[in-house]
Amino acid sequence: MTRILITSAIPYINGIKHLGNLVGSQLPADLYARYQRARGAEVLFLCATDEHGTPAELAAAKAGKPVAEYCAEMWQVQKDLSDGFRLSFDRFGRSSSPQNHALTQHFAGRLDAAGLIEEREETQIYSHADHRFLPDRYIEGTCPNCGYDRARGDQCENCTKQLDPTDLIDPRSAISGSTDLEERRTKHLYLRQSAMRDRLRDWIDSKTDWPVLTTSIARKWLDDGAGLQDRGITRDLDWGVPVRKGTEPWPGMEGKVFYVWFDAPIEYIACAAEWADANGLPDAEWERWWRTDKGAQDVRYVQFMGKDNVPFHTLSFPVTIMGANFDGAEPWKLVDYIKAFNYLTYDGGQFSTSQGRGVFMDQALSILPADYWRWWLLSHSPESSDTEFTWDNFQSSVNKDLADVLGNFVSRVTKFCRSKFGEAVPDGGPFGPAEAALIADLQTRLAAYQRAMDAIEIRKAAAELRAIWVAGNEYLQAAAPWTAIKTDPDRAAAIVRMALNLIRLYAVLSAPFIPDAADRLTAALRTDRDWPDDLHAALARLEPGHSFDVPENLFDKITDDQAAEWAERFAGNRG
């Protein structure tokens, strides 16, 4: 059996995420997980909340709560929203878990033994107004590379160039806006990424099947300026994983924690340990996914993320994984494929959590069920370029694709059958040339759909799925059972029998995209949902006499008034 490990970039704990975050990692990962499970693969799909660092501390302070309490509450909020969007994680974990603390400290000890960690005295920015050292992300200024005036101290969001806070022009505190900043000396641990540059380059060059977006960003970080830089992996903060070498103290690092970008990717592994513990499984069960000496050599590991996360997953995290195996004793699983996404923009601007611009996950579910959003976001996935969300486009896509093409087909077929033959599959005569032509067309389209899904070409897969829906509508319109019933009831019955089996096929193929609708169709048809490896057999699965229920309207159309109201309500302010 094929075994596939899937991780999506873990979201920060502070605040509810917007649709751009959703489509940039978690939603396409869920699509792929659902598809692979449907094809019979053994899948482990992991995600978690990223709970450490200054963002969590500041958000907790703003909420007037201890940071641990705040993180626990926000984990539940994010878990409930992921459930609302039907994200089928096998485990939605927490980077603050004991498992992640232990593994992060373990990896640090291994990397130190490998000679890949170095203690350095450095200059960091201290804010007098905030009475604290400012982590890189909480220093803003103008990027010296592209001139973007809201660049962060670790990376420019606009051009993706890696930065140090001291590189910024006119730096200011992102917390208070204060420019009363001072450079102070402090000691920190650095991950010697530069020592792994050649090995990383060879590894990335070997990934000839990766998306250009992924490899181009990785190579840019390898080659820009002086090339890949060493990275600080500790911070002067209270909330995080305490700096230790495994279970031993780290002299000189008392009171410090590991940098969130060091411990967060390790949570992918820790999340598997959390999954095993939660299900009463031995360590061997999660290790068979992550250790190539314990079974993971047969695993295909696929990561999903927005393009801003690519450098850390193609460079920093692989350094951790490779470096920990310096003596061959710990062969951890490296990623096999990284699916990176461009940005989803919102009606002429950018989605932004910090600026409160765009539709957020809780708001989306408050006005429409998850399938409406899943279909639009996936069928407009920002793969080759940025994609813009507009209410006109959303309305048009939902109404034409979901209501008119899929929903109308289901309604016409089931209601016609009930009125003419009752709520059971009719027998009628044998299938003829029209059905043979339909099946031949569907064979071609199904193969194209599967190729696109296997290649994680999401927009192409959505287009193929829609074409499969359209093929059924065209068949029904041409076969016209409402006309045939007048002169040849057996022929009309055969057409309806084929159409009902098409609905079952649609439920199977559509489930990765629109799982709730697929569940409703499966329940209404009183059937199962196995993958159509034999299309002829699949289109004869509902035999004559098989009873069914006529489902309620599958999708409601979005009215002009609704679209106008929502456009006004969500015009870039969270409120």
Q: Which amino acid is at 349?
A: G
Q: Which amino acid is at 337?
A: Y
Residue 225 belongs to some domain of the structure:
yes
Give Cα 199 to chain centroid, integer Å. Answer: 28
As for how many domains the chain has, the answer is 3
What's residue 354's pLDDT?
A: 60
546 found inside a domain: no
CATH code of 290's domain: 3.40.50.620
Which CATH number fits the domain that encloses residue 220? 2.170.220.10
| 161 shares a domain with 186 | yes
Is 272 part of any domain?
A: no
For residues 208, 214, 215, 216, the Cα torsion angle rounded to the nearest 10 degrees is: 140
Same domain flag for 321 and 421:
no
Is 414 annotated to bind ligand? no
Indicate the residue among 372, 405, 423 that finishes a domain. Answer: 372
Last residue of a domain, one of 372, 403, 419: 372
> Is 71 marked as binding a ligand?
no
Per the annotation, does 156 bind a ligand?
yes
Sheet holding 117-127, edge to edge: 132-133, 117-127, 181-191, 231-232
Buried b or exposed e, range 397-411, using 16+ CB within 10 angstroms: bbbebbbebbbbbbb
| Residue 565 domain flag | no
Residue carrying the six token digits 């006529």: 550
146 assigned binding-site residue:
yes
> What token pair was written down for 301?
């590991």
**Can you give the CATH number for the domain in which 475 is found?**
1.10.730.10
Question: Quick check: is 340 in a domain?
Answer: yes
Which sign does the torsion angle of CA 397, 402, 406, 410 carry?
negative
Say if residue 409 is in the same domain as residue 528.
yes
In tens digits, what is the pLDDT along the chain, a chain of 575 residues? 899 999 999 999 988 999 999 999 999 999 999 999 999 999 999 999 999 988 898 899 889 999 999 999 999 999 999 999 999 999 999 999 999 999 999 999 999 999 999 999 988 888 999 888 887 878 999 999 999 999 988 889 888 888 888 889 999 998 889 999 998 888 999 999 999 999 999 999 999 999 999 999 999 999 876 678 999 999 988 899 999 999 999 999 999 999 999 999 999 999 999 999 999 999 999 999 999 999 999 999 999 999 999 999 999 999 999 999 999 999 999 999 999 999 999 988 877 666 666 899 999 999 999 999 999 999 999 999 999 999 999 999 999 999 999 999 999 999 999 999 999 999 988 999 999 999 999 999 999 999 999 999 999 999 999 999 999 999 999 999 999 999 999 999 999 999 999 999 999 999 999 999 999 999 999 999 999 999 999 999 999 999 999 999 999 999 999 999 998 888 765 44
Query: CA-CA distance, 269 to 283, in Å (whole number)?
Result: 12
Task: Indicate whether 366 and 476 sit together in one domain.
Answer: no
CA dist 480 and 486 (Å) reads: 11
Q: Are residues 444 and 532 in the same domain?
A: yes
Q: Which of 372, 404, 422 is the last residue of a domain?
A: 372
Rounded-to-integer distance, Cα 31 and Cα 47, Å: 14
Q: CA 453, 454, 458, 461: dihedral to nearest 10 degrees?
A: -30
CB atoms under 10 Å from CB of 65, counted, come to 15
**Residue tagged 């994200």 (tokens):** 87
Domain that holds residue 295: 3-105+281-372
**Cα end-to-end span (Å), the chain:** 49
SS (H, E, C) 452-514: HHHCCCHHHHHHHHHHHHHHHHHHHHHHCHHHHHHHCHHHHHHHHHHHHHHHHHHHHHHCCCC
Q: Is residue 570 part of a domain?
A: no
Same domain, 134 and 221: yes
Nearest-10 Cα torsion for 555, 561, 564, 565: -90
In whole angstroms, what separates CA 508 from the centre of its chain?
22
427 shares its domain with 477:
yes
Residues 89 and 121 in one domain: no
Q: Cβ(509)–Cβ(465) under 8 Å?
A: yes
Q: Which residues of 173-193 are buried (b: 16+ CB within 10 A; e: fewer)?
A: bbbeeeeebeeeeeebbbbbb
Distance between CA atoms of residues 441 and 472, nearest Å: 10
Does 381 reside within a domain? no
Task: Determine if residue 225 is left, alpha or beta; phi over 0 gives left, psi from -120 to 50 gives alpha, anything else beta.
Answer: left
Strand partners, 303: 7, 338
Rounded Cα distance between 323 and 190, Å, is 13
The verdict on 172 and 228 lying in the same domain is yes
Residues 416, 318 within the same domain: no
Q: Per the annotation, does 417 bind a ligand?
A: no
Domain-located, residue 559: no
Same domain flag for 364 and 446: no
> What is the Cα–Cα distance from 374 to 494, expressed in whole angstroms?
34
How far apart are the C-alpha atoms of 377 and 25, rounded to whole Å? 11
Residue 284: exposure state from Cβ atoms within 10 A (0-12, 13-18, ≥19):
exposed
Q: How high is the pLDDT of residue 575?
A: 41
Going by DSSP bridges, is the β-strand pair 139-142/169-173 parallel, antiparallel, or unpaired?
antiparallel
Q: Assess contact for 92 and 47: CB atoms under 8 A.
A: yes
**Do 361 and 417 share a structural domain?**
no
